[in-house]
Structures are given as structure tokens and as C-alpha cells.
Structure 1
Amino acid sequence: MASPDVGDILEKSRELDRLRKEQEEVLTEINKMHKKLQATPEVVEKPGDNSLSKLKSLYIQAKELSENEVTVSNLLLNQLDAFLPSGPPGQQRRRIEGNDQKRKRMKNDSDISRPSHPRSQLEAWANLKGEQVAARVTDGDKDEWFVVKVTHFDRETREFEVLDEEPGDDEEGGVQRKYKLPMSCIIPFPKRNDSSSVPEFPPGRHVLAVYPGTTALYKATVVNTPRKRKSDEYLLEFDDDEEDGALPQRNVPLHKVVAWPEDRH
């Protein structure tokens, strides 16, 4: 789909202004009718009076203008989105930053719910081969989380070999990269086909979630839960995702949301 030019956006903006001015004019007429009927309600009983018919016509017109405004607003938003990069403003893959004093060190062997038997535990990790997981890659004192595919688990070293299948624009040449990571840097996602066993994070809880349209994970706050919404999506507000002075609320599938790392132990 070709990106719209600025002229298209400006044209939609002018159309939106026109619709709003027409709505104001219709609302003014509706208010006049309301005052007339409140002052002289007996007028509707007079033969040939069409006050109520006129009021109904004005309400229908206001409804149509309102619906058109919604349609044009959505088109305008889609056109603006075409000019904006995916993910929180400023970076395709924003790094989650924190200093050593604030960042808790995650335990090497307790990042997933595991059976108590060591052999069963290793089996659980080994069974992640071929699965997508959240992976933490550290660069100096900065962490970056993104979705990778597990290609191998070494039982002796307890290290994962993973593949970054969709490197961001910041990766040189956009080439797929491989990493060797300890278990402490891996968080499995909930199973798509077993949502009943997935823990639900309550409103206000910090989580780590895949930002819509990207393979990167960022810190977010739960606004509403799948159970309350009767869907399979969380409603989240991502940190540093501010638009016009407010944090937009975004839908994220429950199988792309995991516990905030510092809450996992």
C-alpha cells in the first residue's frame, strides 16, 4: 500500500473541519428547537405543526455528520500512521535502561515455572526448541528485549542458541543474528492454545510486552485484562509511548505478555 502524501492528509483535515462546522450549525438549530418546545410545548398540538418532524430530521442529520466525522478521523489517523515508524517514538527498538543499583539480577534457573525434579526442569527448557521466546541482550549497562526463536539448548552449559529472525532497522544490513544466552536471559511466552493456564496480570501491574507491529518488548502497565474484556488481549500503556501529552492504550495478545523481569523472583 502506497503511503499518502501530505496533500492527502491536509485534504482530510479540511474535510474534518467542514464536518465539525456543519455539526455545530445543526446543534445550534437543535438547541433553538429545544428552547421553542420548552417555552411553548402546546405548539406541537396545533394542526399542521411540524416541529417534531423537523427536530427528528435535525437529529438524523447530526448523527450522519458524527458518523462521517468518525470515518474521516480514522482515515486521517491511518494516513498519519503511514508516516510514523512502528514502536515507541524515536527508535525501532528502544532499549530498556537502568543502572546496576536499580536493576535486580535475575536468577539463572528460575525464570519459568519448572518441575522440582532437575531432569524434568531441563526437559522443559529443551522443549522450547523451535519456540519463540523473549530474549534479553545486554550491551554495557543497557538491556534490550526482543523476540527470538530457540534453535538449541545445551544441557551441559545450560545455554540457549537463539536466532533473531527479524532484526530491526538499527541492525547492520538487517541480517539475522544468532546469540548464545544463559537461561536468565530467556522468558518463554504463554502458550497460544492453553490460555486457561496463563496467569493474568491485574490492572496496574508492570509487564514486559511485545509492542504492536514490532518484535521488540518494552515495559508496559496493564490497563485492562483479557478476562474482564472477554477477549484474548490485554489493554496496555507502554512507557515512553507518549502522544500529545498522553499514553495511548494499545491491544496486545495475552501470549505476547510476560511478567516484568524484576517481579519474576
Structure 2
Amino acid sequence: MHSGKDSNERSRKLSISSATSKDISEELSLWNQVCTDLLNLYNLHKEAEAAVQKTNKYHEKLTGKSDLLNPKVAKKLLESYSRVIEKATKEQREISKTKDNLDILIALQNASENGIEHKRKKRKVDKYMSKSKSHDNKQYKPLSPGNLVVVKPPEQDWLLATVLQYFPDKNKYEVEDIEDDEDKPGVKKRYIFPVKCVLEIPSDDNKKPYFPIGHEVLSLYPNSSCFYKATIIKTPNENKNSSNGKPAYIVRFEDDDEAEREVPANRVLDMPPKMKLKEDK
């Protein structure tokens, strides 16, 4: 039996051999940046830790000795507090930057690993495809800010988000979750994804695909902002009495006790090619 390490190594080699030189170059560049970020983060953490320890020593000296707290000592204590805040702020900024780069790196790696077979098949039909469909910066027409999209942050479900901006030099989008962060009410999480990892929700009815019964799709779960793998049970043509009078599919989600649920037609997307939709382990 092969070890998990051997299996992971083979998967990595296969992923690298299937990726384009541009993908590999971008991933290596990001990996180098992440390594640099982590080193900077380590140094900043040590500096912040030293500032906290120094402040704690002031506290120890003053504990139970209020007579020692004079204007001169108070000034030093305030300066020490300011240093701690400054170091902590720098550390937080570095953490945020490192996390963003890691998110992009993971998204690129997932796209490479999950799209191996798709890329293999795609080579056979590329010569018949119009260049206007390419994601080349000169040809690609980016989505406008406010456009609804579906993305999958690392170790999370597919979720509904809005486009904030497009970075033509990196061919990436910055998107924002439509719901507030569970840990920070009033704050919405933002992510950066390569174009190939962003699924557009067509606003034009003419661009909306029509899925037949039995087709596997990525569908919004009712009363949520998350998307899951589902199977079409009824098409809008067959589901003429939808709850709000608008086109809607009847779908059956995985691991949902065979329940059949109604989902608006504009919240049902085609399954991303060969992408893993199971829960992250």
C-alpha cells in the first residue's frame, strides 16, 4: 500500500505537469512571497512580544506601589502602550496580507488540481474556440463591480458574493461575501480569486443556460447564501406553479434526505468542470 506522503507527492507532480508554465510561475512567485511574508510576520511577532514584556515589567513595578506612579513614569507607560499598539497593528497588517496571498495560492492550487482532466479535454477543442472567450487580459471583458458571482474560499462552502474590482495586471477579482462575518457583525469578508475561480451569475436571461432533468448543478440552498451540488428534478417549464411566479427549478441536494426544493432559475449554475464539491477534510 502506498503511503499518504507518496500519494500526495504523485498528486503534486501530476498537478504541476498539467499546469501551464504561466500557472507554475505564478504559484512559485506567490509561494516565495508567502515565505517572505511569514518571515516578516515572525520578526514582527518577536518585536511585539518584546514590547508587551517591557510594558508588563512596568506594571509589575507599579503593582501595589501607587506612590511610584508620577508624571514621568506615566509618560513612559503611555509610550510603552503606544509601542505595543504600533507593533500589534503592523503584525495584524502582515497577517492580513499573508492570508490574502495564501488564499490566492490555495485557490490557484485547487484550480490546477481539480481541473487536470478538464484541461486535458480542453486542448482538443481549443482550436475551435473563439479567442474572444479567452481570459487573456487583452480579450477578456471583466465583470463590473456589483456583479453577483459564486466563489469557494478555502475550507468553506461555495458562497454568493459581489464583485468589488478587477485587477487586469493579475487577472484576478476582489469579491465580497454578501453576508456579514459571523464573528464580526457589520463586517463582510473579502477575498481575491483568479478569474478562473469565479463563477458568474448571468444577469441577462439570454445567457442563462437551461438544464435538463437529471443534470448535476451547483445550486443555492433555500434561505441561505451557500451553493451545493444538486440534481435537477423539474425544469422551469415543468414547474409552472413556482412560489413567486418566476422561473424556478426543483432540485435535490446531496445529503439532504432526498428532499426536493425549489430554487430560482437564476441561482442554479452548471457544475464547474471536475471541481471537488465535497466538504473539505
Q: What TM-score do you get using the length of structure 1 for normalisation? A: 0.49
- Greater per-residue helix proportion: 2
